[in-house]
Amino acid sequence: MQSLKLYNTIRLTQSGIRAFSVSSQNYENHKCKLLIVGGGAGGCAEAAKFTSKLGKNQVIVLEPNEKHYYQPLFTLIGGGMKKLEQSWRPMGSVLPSLAKWIKDAAAEFDPKNNTVITQNGDKIEYEYMIVAVGLVLHYEAIPGVLEALEEPNGPVCSNFSPKYVNRTFPAFKNFKEGNAIFTFPNSGIKCPGAPQKVMYIFDDYARKTKKRKNARPIYCTTLPNIFGVKHYADALWKVCEKRDLEVKLRTNLVRVDPHKRQAFFENMDDPNKKLTLDYELLHVTPPQSAPDCVRNCKELVNENGFVNVDKLTLQHVKFPNIFSIGDCSSTPNSKTAASIGTQSGILYKNLSAVMEGKAPVANYSGYASCPLVTSYWSCIMAEFDYNLKPYESFPIEGDRELLIYMMMKREFFPFLYWHFLLNGLWNGPGFFRKLMLQLGLKKA
């Protein structure tokens, strides 16, 4: 907790310096029809939709970062299939020109007074607000991890941050023999399939480079199953059995000793049961949460610190002029880029209705998709809803390891993201699913 406070202090200072260098005017007041807090996938998609509807300077986007990352590409970067520079574009190029971009971050929400205070001290008054701030990575929550991630050419890596993703493939290359450990933390995370995808890619790499017989891949997850949807979990268990991949359920990484190269775990059901593993490669998925500015506003969030919205309408349960999209919202779906596509269309319809004095008109099914990469040339296409039942869009069953799904992951989905989702033109695969049903290529 001490390190988290220090981290937030540093962030606050950096934001103030950056904002001051852009403008000599501090403590400005801004007013807008719609404030979008966050310039990630959900924020950009809604900005594109609502600037078309509301016109110039009616939409403010509050976003501090100068780069916008397509985060699903990080898995492929870690496996040596893509380059980091392919995963980002300048923030100004993905935000609509009709929106007003304030390059700052939220510091305080005051939903009763329709106001947000920025880290630079500016005040933004809004009529309507969309909260789309994503999740924060807490590497500092696991002692030893940050030190390990700073070791040059070290064996500890993480695909979840652009700062560390380029450590993964060199760690693959440097691996000779021993334990290769991959972790899933005791928190909600973005893309719940990502922690095990890197294991499958490593396994394939080790086989191709004749290292596999001396490797012991181990997936340590805090979850009670390998995947939350049984239909796809069954397929993944078969992959692990076929390829001799070890899975330890309800096992939480609590500390790393980078000098002894040891990882320390606790059993989630019996904290007295400890496990210490030596590692030659350790891929860490950090605990994650909504940013402090969101969690500190108790009127805005639920007991878990996520923006408290109705899971069907995406409208806040207390403040009808507030909506939320993506990872920071309380919707119990998997937090993936694919879910944002479907959410963006639902949110646009419902907020538009509220702006016209009507009740929300559309319901979100909980649709999420997770392309589960199982090798350099195969992928399982998991698609499911709130009920954790398959909700597939394609004529071929998603629980099969297929090249076509991997090619979609590598080439088609990035194109769809940059050119359609961020421009407000992609509302998920619902229309495609209906077309497949009408053509008789899928069963209802």
Known catalytic residue: 220?
Answer: no
Which stretches of the chain drop beneath a pLDDT of 70? 1-26, 444
> Which residues are 368's β-sheet partners?
384
By DSSP bridging, strand 281-283 and strand 156-157 are: parallel
Structure confidence by residue, pLDDT tens digits, 383-401: 999 999 999 999 999 999 9
Q: Which residues of 369-401 are buried (b: 16+ CB within 10 A; e: fewer)?
A: bbbbbbbbebbbbbbbbbebebbbbbeeebbeb
Alpha helices in 161-209 (DSSP H): 168-174, 194-208
> What is the reported pLDDT for 26?
55
Looking at the fold, whether 187 and 259 belong to one and the same domain comes out as yes
Q: Can you give the pLDDT at residue 138?
A: 99
Q: 52 and 126 share a domain?
A: yes
Choosing from 355, 383, 410, the residue where a domain stops is 355
- Which of the residues 32, 44, 157, 191 is marked catalytic? 191
Evaluate whether residue 360 is within a structural domain: no
- Residue 362 resides in a domain: no
pLDDT of the residue at 441? 78
Residue-wise pLDDT for 218-233, tens only, equals: 999 999 999 999 999 9
Domain stop point among 355, 377, 397: 355
Looking at the structure, do residues 100 and 160 belong to the same domain, yes or no? Answer: no
Q: Which of 259, 288, 317 is the last residue of a domain?
A: 288
The pLDDT, as a whole number, for residue 444 is 66
Per-residue pLDDT, 442: 73
The first and second tokens of residue 24, run together, are 């000599």
Structure-block tokens of residue 40: 């990630």
pLDDT score, position 439: 82
Spatial distance between the Cα atoms of 84 and 70, rounded to a whole number of angstroms: 10
Total count of domains within the chain: 3
Residue 49 sits in a domain of what CATH number? 3.50.50.60
pTM: 0.92
Q: Is the domain of 382 the same as that of 347?
A: no
Domain, as residue range, for 434: 368-438
Is 293 a residue of the active site? no
Task: Spot the catalytic one: 44, 293, 370, 379.
Answer: 370
